[in-house]
Amino acid sequence: MSTIHFHRTMSVSPEQFVAAITDFGPGREKVFANSSDAFLTVHDLGPTHADVTEGGGGVWERLSYDWSDPYRVVMRTTDSNVWGGASGHTYTLTRQPDGGTVLDAVVVRDGKNLKGRIVGFLLGTVAKPFLGKALDQTIKAVEARN
């Protein structure tokens, strides 16, 4: 199992960031490059939660989103072709005096099969910069929307 931490500063507010990452409409792949619109299925959507299947590139996961705390978004993996156990993402947002946001992101990758264990190991070690670059692209896309 790999636990990966990222710390980023953004020019958008926590509300703008949460609104963008919880927009499950067309064009989601512009915010999340690893989430193809063709694989997006929204099973349930409420004011502060969602049950969504998304993915791309041969990896998919069903995620339970919870943003009932406006400064924390928790995405727990409930099903996947490679991820199991404690897999998911937690984004903690801290508003800055200039209106921007500090993002602390924790990604947990618990492989449920050989492919998942290998990819999880790689993401926690040599491929961590790839995951960081994907997060940076998400932040740029959110900033561009606002």
Domains of the chain (ranges plus CATH)?
2-145 (3.30.530.20)
Residues 50, 62 contacting (CB under 8 angstroms): no
CA pair distance 85, 108, nearest whole angstrom: 9
Other CB atoms within 10 A of residue 126 CB: 9
Secondary structure of residue 129 in the 3-state scheme: helix
pLDDT of residue 137: 95
pLDDT of residue 129: 85
Q: What is the pTM of this model?
A: 0.93
The arithmetic mean of pLDDT across residues 78-106, rounded, is: 97
CA pair distance 3, 24, nearest whole angstrom: 26
